[in-house]
């Protein structure tokens, strides 16, 4: 991957692109023409592009950036949505720690439906940079997704480290949605995010820490087609199974 801007970028955009490049440990490439020319010149098919209107991960034919996605559709069933039922499994969900924030699709859903504050951890510097630009951009718009975005605080860090530093029972619900080999059919942008995702933490260790930090329960999002480990309860969605583990 390399980091670039749009052509004729302002000093501010160039500075931001250099910052993202340093943080991701990849090169900054000055953009003078088409992105396809840079892909060819640098023998690389993935770029992080800092634009005036948004930041995005780009390949020749796909783009990934922070946006409301299917939020309106997900909210059509309100608190009956399987994800919301999983979060409210114990009847209480006033604080959520999303240990694998990704593009914040789940966090936006929880923040909009339950009107809760979300602390989100993201291990990939590139994904965290997208969030750093995208959540405030969304929050600047006075609508439901904007209000939801304003309730999410995205931190760069690894879930195991951050959870390990937190006291017992310090948040109601911890959400874990790591990268699985089998993508959910409904996961848009999966292949793009997979290229920059953080995947190093051991899921069993993560679950143990999450169960310690949660005061109510942990929701572990699993592809429905995969064989799943023992859990205390589960809620089935269309393509996803929400495994529930009591706090310990
Ligand atoms: C499947 S995506 C999460 C999607 C998210 N639930 C959503 O709705 O957009 C997994 C994300 O979590 C991050 N991640 C995975 N394991 C992590 C860990 N142990 N610590 C921090 N981030 C992690 C990956 O970098 C990736 O961005």
72, burial (CB in 10 Å: exposed 0-12, middle 13-18, buried 19+): exposed
Share of the chain above pLDDT 70, in %: 97
Same domain, 58 and 84: no
User: In Å, how far from its chain's centre is CA 30?
Assistant: 28
Same domain, 19 and 85: no
Pocket test of ligand 1: the residue of 198, 207, 237, 239 to mutate, having most ligand atoms within 8 Å of its CB, is: 198
Q: CATH no. for residue 160?
A: 3.40.50.150
Among candidate residues 38, 64, 90, the one where a domain is terminated: 64
| Full DSSP string of 132-171 | HHHHHHHHTS-SHHHHHHHTEEEEES-HHHHHHTSPTT-E
Closest residue by CA, ligand 1 atom 12: 100
Kindly report, residue by residue over 88-111, the tens digit of the pLDDT: 999 989 999 999 999 999 999 999
Same domain, 198 and 135: yes
Same domain, 89 and 30: no
Among candidate residues 41, 64, 87, the one where a domain is terminated: 64
The alpha carbon dihedral of 90, 240, 109, 164 has a sign of positive
Closest to 180 in 3D by CA, of 216, 226, 145, 140 = 226
Q: Which residue has the tokens 């000055």?
A: 30
Same domain, 37 and 80: no
Same domain, 44 and 99: no
Pocket of ligand 1 (CB under 6 A): 100, 102-106, 121-124, 127, 158-160, 177-179, 193, 197-199, 201, 206
- Number of the ligand 1 atom closest to the C-alpha atom of 98: 6
Q: CATH no. for residue 36?
A: 3.40.1630
Task: Identify the pLDDT of residue 192.
Answer: 92
Same domain, 100 and 222: yes
Q: Report the chain's mean pLDDT, rounded to a whole number.
A: 95
Same domain, 149 and 193: yes
Same domain, 240 and 195: yes
Q: Which residue has the tokens 């933490």?
A: 201
The Cα–Cα gap between 57 and 17 comes to 12
pTM here is: 0.96
Q: Helices 11-24 and 125-139 meet at what angle, rounded to 10?
A: 140
- Number of the ligand 1 atom closest to the C-alpha atom of 190: 1
230, burial (CB in 10 Å: exposed 0-12, middle 13-18, buried 19+): exposed
DSSP 42: T
Q: How far is the CA of 101 from the centre of ligand 1 (A)?
A: 5
What domain range includes position 28? 2-64
Among candidate residues 21, 43, 64, the one where a domain is terminated: 64
Pocket test of ligand 1: the residue of 101, 193, 222 to mutate, having most ligand atoms within 8 Å of its CB, is: 101
Domains identified in the chain, total number: 2
Same domain, 172 and 220: yes
Same domain, 27 and 60: yes
Kindly report, residue by residue over 42-79, the tens digit of the pLDDT: 999 999 999 999 999 999 999 999 999 999 999 999 99
Closest residue by CA, ligand 1 atom 3: 102
Closest residue by CA, ligand 1 atom 11: 102
3-class DSSP state of 77: helix
Kindly report, residue by residue over 160-187, the tens digit of the pLDDT: 999 999 999 999 999 999 987 665 555 5
Task: Identify the pLDDT of residue 188.
Answer: 58
Same domain, 29 and 147: no
């Amino acid at each position: 991957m390399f980091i670039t801007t749009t052509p004729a970028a302002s000093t501010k955009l160039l500075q931001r692109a250099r910052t993202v490049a340093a943080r991701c440990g990849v090169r900054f490439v000055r953009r003078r023409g088409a992105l396809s020319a840079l892909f060819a010149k640098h023998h690389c098919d993935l770029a992080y592009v800092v634009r005036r209107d948004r930041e995005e991960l780009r390949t020749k034919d796909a783009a990934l950036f922070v946006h409301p996605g299917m939020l309106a559709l997900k909210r059509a069933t309100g608190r009956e949505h399987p994800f919301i039922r999983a979060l409210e499994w114990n009847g209480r969900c006033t604080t959520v720690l999303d240990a694998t924030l990704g593009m914040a699709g789940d966090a936006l859903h929880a923040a909009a439906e339950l009107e809760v504050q979300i602390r989100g951890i993201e291990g990939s510097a590139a994904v965290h940079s997208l969030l750093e630009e995208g959540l405030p951009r969304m929050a600047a718009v006075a609508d439901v997704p904007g209000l939801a975005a304003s309730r999410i605080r995205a931190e760069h860090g690894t879930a195991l480290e951050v959870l390990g530093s937190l006291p017992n029972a310090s948040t109601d619900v911890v959400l874990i949605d790591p990268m699985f080999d089998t993508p959910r059919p409904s996961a848009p942008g999966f292949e793009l995010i997979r290229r920059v995702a953080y995947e190093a933490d051991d899921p069993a260790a993560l679950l143990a820490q999450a169960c310690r930090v949660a005061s109510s329960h942990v929701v572990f999002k699993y592809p429905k087609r995969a064989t799943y480990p023992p859990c205390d309860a589960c809620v089935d969605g269309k393509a996803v199974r929400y495994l529930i583990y009591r706090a310990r």
